[in-house]
A and B are shown apart, each in its own frame.
Chain A
Amino acid sequence: MKFSEDKLAKVSEIKARYPEGKQKSALLPLLHLAQEEFGGWLSADTMDYVAELLSITPIEVYEVATFYSMYNLKPVGKYMFEVCQTGPCMVRGCDDIIDYITEKLGIKPGETTTDGLFTLKTVECLGACGYAPMMQLGKFYREHLTKQRVDEIIKECRDKAALNN
């Protein structure tokens, strides 16, 4: 397991943002980078590699990786639907959206489809309350969700996956 030259250059750039001897500050950004690069989740090997890059002990990485909700500690589907379920989204009908995704994909929150394509996850407030209901899909938000929008998103993901295969 090793970052590409490109990514290693990025690692150096990130480490240079902090004062001398404070390279541990690069841990969160590096974990994001590693998760993107190595299959969408952080295995023990990935975390050990990040520890090595920063010359810190593996436990310093594990304790951080387990604290923050965006780091996945087990494999997830290629497309993760992270649907917000906090008050303002609840008021605008997120429960129906979650139920609908469960019905369409046959997975409950926390589960992944058997083809490894989709994971459904419920999350707490993502700061899109005015555009609810919403979900995070990869880097971006999908807002003003309706059942029809969910259908379109599922189709979009399937099409993209088919194109890549």
Chain B
Amino acid sequence: MAIKLLLEKAHVQGIRTYEVYRREGGYTALEKALKELSPEAIVEELKKSGMRGRGGAGFPTGMKWSFIAKPEGVPRHLVCNADESEPGTFKDRYLMEFLPHLLIEGLIISSFALGSNATYIYIRGEYAWIPDILEEAIREAKAAGFLGNNILGTGFDCEIYVQRGAGAYICGEETALIESLEGKRGNPRIKPPFPAIKGVWDRPTVVNNVETLAALVPIIKMGGEEYAKIGIGRSTGTKLISACGNINKPGVYEIDMTISVEEFIYSDEYCGGIPNGKRLKACIPGGSSVPILPANLLLKTTKGETRYMNYESLSDGGFATGSMMGSGGFIVLDEDQCIVKHTYTLARFYRHESCGQCSPCREGTGWMEKILKNIETGKGKMSDIDLLWDIQRKIEGNTICPLGDAAAWPVAAAIRHFRDEFEWHITNPQEAQIRNFGLAHYADPIHIPVTEHSKSI
């Protein structure tokens, strides 16, 4: 049975309410943090935990916190990034919907450590019913004396506010989020200055993902050192994975990062294998931005070693033969899926979400969408493949924010690993309208299992 630090109580009846959450041991981490630890000591525990940002970039959170400027007389702010919009990712939604108090507790601990008296949760606008759940949890926490003035007699004051976005993937990027919170278009800022120096309203600001901030609760409860013992290498603690696509059991899973990708896909504890006895073709393991991997490279590295569900193993081989942990949005594609069409939908997504500030991204994403659509609909030319490659190269690294890279990588990886499928689309335009390319050689030479479970469904 896997270790569960975040979702352990997710299925307890009524856990959404303060009463049940408290009865189940809720807010004891907060009491420990505020009564026994100093803000500096909390940052130390976080550093020891080895916690890496769960939003996608994987930057060490303790280090990020230690960068925050503390000029005399200038308020600081913590902002919780709940703008979850990366295709394949729906873990934060699950946390907020079912365990709102876990997030609120983590937020109060973090606010105390960072000295934020006004903390904001910026949530994507489409999650329109979740602010009510969070605001109810905030009301309850306040009634219990965990928010408001002079919390637990420490002299620390804190309020948490929920701000809804309005439909813009780019606002998940921290400086775009800050702009949006200020009531502006979500155009990312040029860094430096970093938010830790000049963030929202030009005040020192820390922006962290929902899952990251919720993890403060187990980190404080067990201590950073103990937390770091879970997992492997620099992948400490647990990670939420949202699994979707062609699997028997889509959903949100908490894993300790020592299980193999094969186990994650095929065991009944997690995805439960692929439906209808189909075989695995490819997978995007960390949200739509990270490179897609064909089955053979997904389950084993080029060295023939088992690939595991952690930061290091998933990126083994670099972009040539590896991918990334990213946000933990795990998208599985079976043998019937068309890589060209799937890549086209992602290119369309990034074109739609580009803020338009930098020309390589604004123009490039549109071009990639158009070319991919042509190939998908049987109007492609062989030179289009190289043109696509060329465009993505010219976007990557040439934009203010990482959306450009995020748009370029899926296209690059699709061509890198599935070039023959693109060529087949172009040389067989009519056939490509009727049937898919199938598995080809991607699944070979290693054995791709078909579980008994998946056969029976």
Chain A positions within 8 Å of B, measured between CB atoms, are: 17-19, 22, 24-29, 31-32, 54, 60, 63-64, 67-71, 85-88, 90-92, 123-132, 136, 138-140
Contacts and interface: CB of A to CB of B under 8 A. Distances in A.
Nearest to A19: B201
Contact of B252 (A19, A31, A130, A139): A130
Contact of A131 (B125, B129, B167, B250): B250
B124 A132 contact: no
A45 B251 CA distance: 44
B164 A32 contact: yes
Interface stretch (B34-42, B180-188, B382-390, B443-451): B180-188
Given A127-B89, A128-B90, A130-B243, A87 B345 contact: yes
A70 B86 CA distance: 17
A140 B131 CA distance: 12
Contact of B125 (A32, A88, A140): A32
B88 A29 contact: no
Given A25-B163, A87-B345, 9 more contacts: A28-B180, A32-B125, A54-B183, A63-B184, A64-B183, A123-B167, A125-B86, A127-B89, A127-B127
Contacts of A24: 182-184
Given A87-B288, A129-B329, A139-B128, A70 B167 contact: yes
B163 A29 contact: yes
A129 B244 contact: yes
A132 B244 contact: yes
A51 to B, nearest CB: 11
A65 B91 CA distance: 28
Contacts of B141: none
Given A17-B161, A69-B168, A129-B250, A28 B201 contact: no
A25 B164 contact: no
B232 interface: no
Interface residues of B, number: 56
A136 B379 CA distance: 33
Nearest to A126: B126
Interface in B1-59: none
| 7 closest cross-chain pairs (CB), A and B | A27-B183, A68-B166, A130-B250, A69-B167, A70-B167, A129-B244, A24-B183
A64 B244 contact: no
A28 B342 contact: no
Contacts of A29: 163-164
B93 interface: yes
A33 to B, nearest CB: 10
Q: Which of A60, A129, A136 is packed against the most chain B CB atoms within 10 Å?
A: A129
B345 A22 contact: no
Interface in B241-271: 242-246, 250-252
Contacts of B329: 129
8 contacts: A17-B118, A17-B120, A22-B201, A67-B168, A67-B185, A68-B168, A125-B88, A127-B90
A63 B179 CA distance: 13
Interface string B157-187: 0000101111111000000000011111110
B87 A129 contact: yes
